[in-house]
Structure 1
Amino acid sequence: MARRWASLLVAVGLVAATLGLAAPAQAGTRQLKVATYNIYLGADLAPLALAQTPQELVERAGIAYDQVVATDFPSRARAISRLLRKERPEVIGLQEVALWKKGPLTGPLHTTYDFLDILLRELRRAGLHYRAAAVDNTGTTTLPISATERASFTNRDAILVQDGLPVTNAQSHLYAAKLVVTTPFGVTFTTARGWSAVDVAVKGKPTRVRVATTHLQPGVPPIRNAQAQELYAALAQSPYPVTALGDFNALPEATGPYGTFTAGGYDDAWRTVHGPGGGFTAVQDPDLRNLPSKLSERIDYVFYQPTHLSAVSADLIGDKVRDRTPTGLWPSDHAGLVVRLCVR
């Protein structure tokens, strides 16, 4: 009988491997549940760089700030916290963790929306206790938004970990590859991107797992690809098994970031568990009010090194109509991805 069960388990594993699906977890393994979620900065900033005059730039900046108010992150944070309460990942990689400030043209700015503080507060209200273990600050842009006011936007990515989870070697870095855009009237925008990582202890295991998160540059493949190569090279120095998660702004193709990681020894958790179909994580309308959902691209991933890790589940959150806020806002313009990893 024991031989028959052993043969059956082997057969199941072979079928799963053939189909690209996850094999059952083996006895003695320990698990680490991770999530990646681009929580949306609240507005579409791309039109700013297309302004043809200083006056048009001010007008577009004002429209963007009004959109931040309308997309109501406090309400969206409550929706996100409810989704995370169901999943309870131990480590969460967040992208577009915005910090917005506003004030008079010549006076001090005051914080209006600190997405990190707001989300941590809503998580506590939901009975979840996380701390920000690593935060990369990729820069601040300040612009007039009217004849009397100005606003600033600071872009950040963050890694949240459950309270009590031992973490070491928290680190954050900016990529050397940056996007530089100059408007027709001489205003230059420099967009930096970065990554953060922490080494997480896994209960019952002598080793740790390095969890990294990033948000790569959209729209400019050479810059995005260079950033992916920087991240891959940096993570290759890890003494521990690695999972790299985030918004890679790339489809699951052999070239670009996806190819950099999958050809370089990483597996794609969604594909391992579900095969190549589905898993769409992007992208809803900037006002977050579209119906039906417009999620039609898979650009958010959990990559992992299969030598020491294996994916046993992968689920989307924030992709269903019932996940929206009471006023009809999607929690984000992206869906989140939650993955359960076994650590061998």
Structure 2
Amino acid sequence: MIDKLWCVRLLALGLVLAISGFAHMTSPQETSAWMTFAHEIPAQADADATVTVVSRNIYLGADVGSALELLPDMPAAAQLMWEQVTATDFSRRAPLLAAELAADAPDVVAIQEATTWECRPTFFGSSTVVFDFLGQLLGATQDTGVEYALASAGDRTAMNPGYSIPVLPYLTTVRDPQTFQPLFGTDSAACGFTIGDALLVRADRADDVRDVGQGDYSTIYSIVPVLFEIDRGYVWIDLAVGSGEVRFVTTHLESLWSEGATPVNALQAQELVEVVDGWGLPLVVMGDFNSDPRDPRPLTAPNPGLQPDTTTECQAQVESPSHMTARAECSPYWTMVRAGFRDAGPDALDPMNATWGSSALLAGPDPDRLAQAPNNPYGYTDRLDYVFTSSG
């Protein structure tokens, strides 16, 4: 997900959960939409305690899928990604994202694709951080008057680095005189990136963080076994809410899948459910699950987002799936629901509530996807992002 933000308010005992969704294009031609809805959940905290959360995939700035199509030509793939990163320009996006947060001042912010890009001009030596998206976003919040910090407890921070492409001279060398001349005095440099998941807290709530932890999934997607594997995981914090505590979790499940195999994200969701089952705390699990309730798709169904279909070893999802009828074994979304989690957002099957579909350069809807986006004026075609709740 690169285009939509969910804001959730939890009023803690007897409590009403009000969720606001924002469709937000982080491009010069900004477009947004607003939705509000509510339901009740149980929790272990005071009736007057209120917590607001936001989940946001801030986008690494480039389309990995397009780059993979250029392999094994790694220099071409690296150049494509770098040009997209500079075009999507996080220095322009960070203030917009910070303004979104300031509008609702959430207590907890779940971030996916917190990306660091590093480069070096020579074969040997240390790399220089050229772009630090999380650092830029945190800095931008200072200018809004609603400041955020990376959650921490003791020496542990709520940041779980995920997969990375290392700096590989020649293989990932890119040309960008405008960026590299001021930094290195050269036109080219080898670059790589690391993306991860993070949990932020509003600065005035920083001392309310009681504990921090993280974990990694054993199921990973291998593009090149051993050499190029995509690690995924989750990070959590325990936050004081009234007289009790609530555990907040963020994760980003795998987007890539292979024919003839159960989708990796479905296996990761099963791991997550098994882990959280023993925690015994009220839970808010949020993030980019890369899972639409309609997955796996029949081969005859529209699939502009290239979501898992029946070329996997899975059966097609039933028509109009529900908690009672859905096939959950190959679906992260239905795995969470069947495990007792409540989708705090609006109807995930309603096209108006889709959360993914903008162009890779954030220049508005992708024309091809827009043509396949019934009843969605922003071109969003798939619902991939969720806030799930459980009383523990």
2:165 aligned with 1:141:
yes
Q: Name the structure 2 match of 1:83.
A: 100
After superposition, give the CA deviation of every residue in 1:274-324 in whole Å (9 maximum; x if it has no partner): 68523221121111102463222211000001x47xxxxxxxxxxxxxxxx
1:296 counterpart (378, 381, 389): 381
Question: Which residue in the other structure is 2:38 paired with?
Answer: 22
Match of 1:206? 243
1:290 aligned counterpart, secondary structure: coil
Partner of 2:75: 58
Single out whichever of 64-73 and 29-38 deviates more from structure 2. Answer: 29-38
Q: What is the alpha-carbon distance in structure 1 between the residues aligned to residue 71 and residue 140 of structure 2?
A: 40
Query: Compared with structure 1, are the counterparts of its residues 179 and 29 closer, same or farther at alpha carbon in structure 2 (3 Å cutoff)?
Result: same
Where do 1:186-205 residues align within 5 Å?
Answer: 188-202=227-241, 205=242
Aligned with 1:261: secondary structure? helix
The Cα of 1:206 is off from its aligned counterpart by: 2.2
Counterpart contact for 2:70–2:76, Cα < 8 Å: no
Aligned to 1:40: 59
In structure 2, the residue matched to 1:126 is 144
Name the residue aligned to 1:340. Answer: none
Structure 2 counterpart of 1:334: none
Give me the TM-score of the superposition, normalised by structure 2.
0.66
SS at match of 2:137: helix
- Counterpart in 2 of 1:287? 361
Deviations 1:252-285 (A, max 9, x none): 25321111111111110113xx685232211211
- Note if 1:73 corresponds to 2:90: yes
Q: In 2, are the aligned partners of 1:59 and 1:145 still within 8 Å (CA)?
A: no
CA–CA distance in structure 2, aligned partners of residues 198 and 102 of structure 1: 32
Structure 2 residue 272 is matched with structure 1 residue 248? no
What is the rounded CA distance, in whole Å, between the counterparts of 2:40 and 2:135 in structure 1?
38
Q: Which letter maps to 2:243?
A: P
Q: Are the counterparts in 1 of residues 71 and 77 from structure 2 also a CA contact under 8 Å?
A: no
Cα distance, 1:164 vs. partner? 3.1
- Number of residue pairs aligned between Structure 1 and Structure 2: 279
Q: Percentage identity across aligned positions?
A: 30
Where does residue 320 of structure 1 map in the other structure?
Answer: none
Following the alignment from structure 1 to structure 2, what is the Cα–Cα distance between the partners of residues 275 and 22? 14
Secondary structure in 2 aligned to 1:231?
A: helix
From 247, 264, 283, the counterpart of 2:339: 264
Q: Aligned partners of 1:288, 1:167: CA distance in 2, in Å?
A: 34
Is the deviation greater in 293-302 or in 119-128? 293-302
Q: Name the aligned partner's letter for residue 221 of structure 2.
A: L
295-304 or 164-173, larger mean C-alpha shift:
164-173
Q: Relative contact order: is structure 1 or structure 2 higher (C-alpha 8 Å, sep ≥ 6)?
A: 1
Once the two structures are superposed, residues 164-218 of structure 1 have per-residue CA deviations (whole angstroms, 9 ceiling, x without a partner) of: 3201220122111111113xxx99421111100001111xx32211000000001
Looking at structure 1, the residues matched to 293 and 39 of structure 2 have their Cα atoms a distance apart, in angstroms, of: 22
Aligned to 2:253: 216
In 2: Cα distance, 1:225 partner to 1:25 partner: 26
> 2:82 touches 2:174 (CA, 8 Å); kept in 1?
no
Instruction: Tell me the amino acid that sits aligned with residue 67 of structure 1.
Output: Q
Cα 1:51–1:112, aligned 2, differ >3 Å: closer, same or farther? same
Task: State the superposition RMSD in angstroms.
Answer: 2.4
SS in 2 for 1:22: strand
Q: Which runs of 5+ in 1 are unaligned?
A: 1-12, 14-20, 309-344
Please state if 1:162 is matched with 2:202. Answer: yes
Alignment gaps of 5+ in structure 2: 1-15, 17-36, 152-157, 176-187, 295-325, 366-376
Deviations 1:145-170 (A, max 9, x none): 24852101011110001123201220
Give the match's secondary structure for 2:150: strand
Deviation at 1:48, TM superposition (A): 3.6
**Cα separation, partners in 2 of 1:78 and 1:155, compared to 1, 3 Å:** same
Q: Equivalent residue for 1:338?
A: none
Partners of 1:285 and 1:294 within 8 A in 2: no
Kept in 1: contact 2:68–2:77 (CA 8 A): no
